[in-house]
Chain A
Amino acid sequence: MAKVNIKIEGIPFEVEAGLTILEAAKECGFEIPSLCAFNHGECSKGSCRVCLVEATGARGLVASCVYPVAEGMEITISSPKATAARRTSVELLLSNHNKNCQQCDKNGKCELLHVAKLTGARDDMYLGAQTPVTVDRLTPSIVRDTSKCILCGRCVERCKNAHGLGVLGFEKRGFNTIVAPAEDRSFANSPCILCGQCVSVCPTGALMEVSEIEKVDAAFRAGKYVVVQTAPAVRAALGEEFDMPIGTLVTGKMVSALKRLGFKKVFDTNFAADLTIMEEATELLGRITNGGTLPMITSCSPGWVNYAEYYYGDLLGHLSSCKSPHEMFGAILKSYYAEKNGIDPKDMFVVSIMPCTAKKYEKERPELSVNGLRDVDAVLTTRELGKLIKRSGINFAKLPDSEFDNDIVGDYTGAGVIFGTTGGVMEAALRTAAFKLSGEELKKVELEDVRGFEGIKEATYNLAGTEVKVAVAHGMKNAKVLLDQIREGKSPYHFIEIMGCPGGCVAGGGQPYVKPCFLPNEGSDILDTFKSKRAAALYQEDESKALRVSHKNPQIIELYDTYLGEPNSHKAHELLHTHYHAKERFSK
Chain B
Amino acid sequence: MAHLQEAAAKKINAICDRYVNERTPLMMILSDIQKEYGYIPLEVQELVSERTGISVAEIYGVVTFYSFFSLKPKGKYVIGVCLGTACYVKGAQQIIDKFSEIIGIKPGETSEDGLFTLDALRCIGACGIAPAVTINGKVYPKLTVDVVPKIVDEYKALEA
Binding site for B on A (CB under 8 A): 156, 160, 165-173, 180-183, 585-586
Binding site for A on B (CB under 8 A): 42, 45-46, 54-61, 64-65
List 14 additional contacts besides A169-B57, A173-B64; criterion CB under 8 Å: A156-B57, A160-B55, A165-B55, A166-B58, A167-B55, A169-B56, A171-B60, A172-B65, A173-B65, A182-B45, A182-B59, A182-B60, A183-B60, A586-B46
The answer to whether A166 and B55 touch (CB under 8 A), given A171-B60, A182-B60, is yes
Total A-B contacts with CB atoms under 8 angstroms apart:
42
A166 surroundings in chain B (CB, below 8 A) = 54-58
Please tell me if the beta carbons of A171 and B64 are within 8 angstroms of each other in the complex.
yes
B42 surroundings in chain A (CB, below 8 A) = 182-183, 586
Closest to A170 in B: B61
Contact of A586 among B56, B58, B64 (CB under 8 A): B56
Bound complex: CA of A169 vs CA of B64, how far in Å? 11
Shortest beta-carbon distance from A50 to chain B in Å: 23
A182 surroundings in chain B (CB, below 8 A) = 42, 45, 56-57, 59-60
Closest to A173 in B: B65
Bound complex: CA of A171 vs CA of B61, how far in Å? 4
Some 16 contacts from A to B, beta carbons below 8 A apart, are A160-B55, A166-B56, A167-B55, A167-B57, A169-B55, A169-B58, A170-B61, A171-B57, A171-B61, A173-B64, A173-B65, A181-B57, A182-B45, A182-B57, A585-B56, A586-B46
Instruction: Please list the 9 inter-chain residue pairs (A to B) with the smallest Cβ-Cβ separation, ordered nearest first.
Output: A166-B55, A169-B57, A182-B60, A169-B61, A182-B56, A170-B61, A169-B58, A173-B65, A182-B57
B60 surroundings in chain A (CB, below 8 A) = 169, 171, 182-183
Bound complex: CA of A168 vs CA of B61, how far in Å? 10
Shortest beta-carbon distance from B63 to chain A in Å: 9
Bound complex: CA of A309 vs CA of B34, how far in Å? 32
The answer to whether A585 and B55 touch (CB under 8 A), given A171-B60, A171-B61, A173-B65, is no
Bound complex: CA of A170 vs CA of B62, how far in Å? 8
Bound complex: CA of A321 vs CA of B60, how far in Å? 36
Bound complex: CA of A167 vs CA of B46, how far in Å? 12
B65 surroundings in chain A (CB, below 8 A) = 170, 172-173
Shortest beta-carbon distance from A587 to chain B in Å: 11
Bound complex: CA of A165 vs CA of B64, how far in Å? 19
Bound complex: CA of A165 vs CA of B53, how far in Å? 9
Bound complex: CA of A512 vs CA of B60, how far in Å? 32
Bound complex: CA of A169 vs CA of B62, how far in Å? 10
Closest to B54 in A: A166
Shortest beta-carbon distance from A291 to chain B in Å: 33
Closest to A174 in B: B65
Shortest beta-carbon distance from B121 to chain A in Å: 15
The answer to whether A168 and B46 touch (CB under 8 A), given A173-B64, A173-B65, is no
A171 surroundings in chain B (CB, below 8 A) = 57, 60-61, 64
B54 surroundings in chain A (CB, below 8 A) = 166
Please tell me if the beta carbons of A168 and B64 are within 8 angstroms of each other in the complex.
no
